[in-house]
Structures are given as structure tokens and as C-alpha cells.
Copies of this chain bind each other. A is one copy, B any other.
Amino acid sequence: MIDLRSVSCLLLLSALITASGLAQKPRPRADSEYERPPAPSPPPLPASLLQELAAIRNAALTDDYAYRQVAHLTENIGPRPAGSPQAQAAIEYVAAEMRKLGLEVRLEPVQARHWIRRAESAELVEYPGQVQGTTQKIVLTALGGNYPTPAEGITAEVIVANSFADLDRLGRQNVAGKIVLFNMAFDQQKAVNGYAGEAYNEAVVYRATGAKRAAELGAVASLVRSVGGVEYRLPHTGGSKAADIPAGAVTSEDADLIVHLASQGKVRMHAILTSQTAEEVRTFNVVGDLKGSEHPEQVVIVSGHLDSWDLGTGALDDAAGVAVAMETAQLMQQRHLRPKRTLRVIAWIDEENLGRGHAEYAKAHAAEISQHVAAIESDLGASHPMGFRAKISREAVARLQPVLDVLQPIGANLILLSSDSPEADIEPLAKQGVPAFGLLQDGRTYFNYHHTAADTLDKIVPQELRENATAMAVMGYALAAMPDPLPR
């Protein structure tokens, strides 16, 4: 998942920070440019470091390590909801793989709730034009944290709300006792135009908080139109804030059907959405250190999250992120590169549900946060990386320009400044001032697959995954090896 609050930063595209390069390469000023003082020239990076970065880049572009990790995690292990046996197997597998790489590995305990999907089905049992003795099937899935229906399901009239304002206008007198369908469509055009995260955020607020809002007005269940970019009758699951009514997502096709029929007359639905929240289980973040040669106490994190939703096998979200972080260490070990700071590979747990993995890390490492030099996470799939979204200073951007230049040949040299944390798992660190980077993948197709049964290995394009490993490894190594820590 991407962080829900940090997406407005995408609008900053036009404010791209390559401006910092202007100081180094003055050019005639166009009339339309506004005055700004030239940025101070940052100290150059050592030539030996730049050579190492280029060598890492070249090695990563032909390496299949990350792909093999994604294949094992998704096909041999499978879906990895936090607290599940598969998540535990993945934790042990990743820890063992990190040890093979020669990292110092710790399993850092996290308490998680294991949410388990059970039966989910629905049909319209009354609607205009209904053929006697028949129903219309509705394809839906339960949202994470769903409050279950009884085993036999519930039956109620459906009322459509196109927004929260619409819900408020309907009021308790129209909503109480009914199933609310929030019919907010994902703006695929916006996604294709490069604002996938923004399109996601506009719609996902209904998935995240719709059930809570509907319950406040007496609804008996809450459904959202699936938040995604294509229409192949695929429901998209995802987290929902705890409400005491069942919460699900119907496909866009089924949302259309309900909306059309409800505009013609009364629509009643029978829905079964059972699920179980198992007791709290002990699970783990996997933390692997490649100790720094000069400043082992200074830490650079490279990371992805190991847990996934249960419908697909979590290839894009986010086995790919874990795999490219692991490959960062693998490339260094393979080339016998030992940076002066500690490179810390983290496979986070519980990103999709309660975020307990990163919360627990921030708590357990509270005393050392000031020694965290930077943190990178990849959690926007595995398409071509354009560069990074980053919550860093302009001075830091200038310092990184030579590193971005190394990534220029693969078109991964963009820095898009963000005022919020670029990804969820590094947010506690970003909030405390740790320079935070998210890999900025081409997100145009990400939300087609995100949180669906179709998030599977075949969606990973091997060469694009290599590009992601390249971006993570070059930036990760640079941050760990550059002469001075990145300025905050």
C-alpha cells in the first residue's frame, strides 16, 4: 500500500528539484523563470564512490536475485497475511536468505492480529424487472477488519451514496437499517496521467472510513465500489477502520448494476461476509545488518513489507519491495563493498493491517533514531522506477545529484519532494526527521492489480524489477558510503 496522506506531493511534479543542478551548470535565464538565489555547491563525491555506484548499477541490471526471491515468496509460499503460517514461513525464509548473504539477522517481535477471510457472497434478491425465482449475483470481497455477518448473511435494501456529503444529505431516516453502497469511482484517467496515488486517495477514503460513517447513521452494512483502475469484475480488498457493521468492496461492474437498478426502483441484497479476527499472535520484522566499517552506529534502511493481502500472492505488493532491498545487500556482498555506515535490510510485517511492524520498530529503536541516516522503502509495485519520492531537504537533493546522475541512464534519476512520508513503513522515521525515500515507480497500472487476486508473479516484468533493484542499491549504497551523512 502507499501512504494515504502523502500523495498530494505528486502535484509537486512541476516543482521538481533538479533546479539544484542549475547552480552547477548555469544557463541563460528564461523570462518566465522567477528569481531564486543559486544553491550552494555541494561537496563532490569521491571518484572511487562514483565508480562503485556505476559498477553496482551495471551488476544490478543483469541480476536475477530479486526475481528469484519474489518467485519463491509468491509461488512456493503464497499469500502472506500478517499472523498467518505463510507469513511466518516467509519471515523464516527471508531471515535465512539474509544470513546466507552474511548479514547479522534479528527477528524483532511484533504483536499482530491475524484477520482471516471466510465466506463472501452476495446476490440481489429484489430489483426492478427481476425474473421470478432468480437473483443477480454480486461479486464482492470483505475488507480487512470486517465485522462479520451471521453465517446465514443479512438481507436489506441497498441505498447508494456518491459521497459523504450525499450520505449526510440522506441522513439517518434513509440510511438506518440499510446497506450503504459508496459509489465513488477511481479516476483512471488521472491515474494514467501520472497521478495514480492521487486517484487512489480520492476513492480510498470511502474504503477506509465508509463503514464507520455509515454505521453512525444506523446502516447494517457498508460496501464500496472497488478502488482500482480496470474493470474485470475484480473486487479490491484493503483496510477499513473498525466499525461494528460488515464492510465489503463490490466490483465496479456490480456497483454499476446496483446503481442502475436502484435508480429504477427498490433493490434488496442478501450478503454473506464472514471473517474472523484471531487472537493476537507474535510475529516479526526481519532486520538484517551489514555492519558499517567506520560508523556502524549510523544506519541506512532499505526495505519493503513482507506481509500481503490474501486474495493474490502479493507479488507487486510487496514481495518486490522486500526482494529489491535484499538484493541491495546481495550486490554489496557480491562485490565485497563494505560501506562506512550500516546498511540495514528490513522486511516489515503488518503493513496492510494495523501497521504494527513499523510502529514497533520506532518504539524499540527510539533511542537510536537520531543515528538513522536515511530510510528507503519500495511499496508502489515493480514497474519502471522513475526515481524517488523523498521527504528530504533541498540541500540533501543537491548533495545527491551525482548519485542521481549514475541512475540517469535507466531513467530513474527523478527526485519528487514530498512533505509527508513517501511510504507507510518509514513514516515514523520520516516524522522524526530521518531523510525518507520511496521508490517512485510508474504507477499507471499498479492500481489495476493492487489488493486483488491478480497481484501475482506474472505481473512482475523481470527487467523492470532489475531497474528497481538498481535504484534501491545505488541509492542505498550511496547513502551508506558517502563521506558525510545526508544533511537532514
Contacts and interface: CB of A to CB of B under 8 A. Distances in A.
Contacts of A76: 127-130, 261, 264
Number of copies: 2
Contacts of A457: 253, 256-257, 260
A254 B448 CA distance: 18
A127 B132 CA distance: 46
B452 A233 contact: yes
A94 to B, nearest CB: 13
A72 B129 contact: yes
Given A261-B75, A453-B139, A85 B458 contact: no
Contacts of A136: 75, 78
Interface in A57-116: 71-72, 75-78, 84-86, 89
A232 interface: yes
Interface in A203-217: none
A20 interface: no
A234 interface: yes
A458 B71 CA distance: 35
A367 interface: no
Contacts of A253: 454, 456-458
Given A256-B458, A458-B252, A233 B312 contact: yes
A257 B232 CA distance: 20
A210 B129 CA distance: 40
A71 B132 contact: no
Contact of A234 (B72, B77, B232, B257): B232
Interface of A: 71-72, 75-78, 84-86, 89, 127-134, 136, 139, 230-234, 252-253, 256-257, 260-261, 264, 312, 448-449, 452-454, 456-459
Given A75-B260, A257-B456, 15 more contacts: A75-B136, A75-B261, A76-B127, A78-B131, A78-B134, A84-B134, A85-B132, A85-B133, A86-B134, A231-B459, A232-B232, A232-B234, A232-B448, A233-B453, A256-B457
Per CB-CB distance, the 9 closest pairs between chain A and chain B, nearest first, are A76-B129, A232-B232, A89-B131, A233-B454, A233-B453, A253-B456, A232-B454, A78-B136, A86-B131
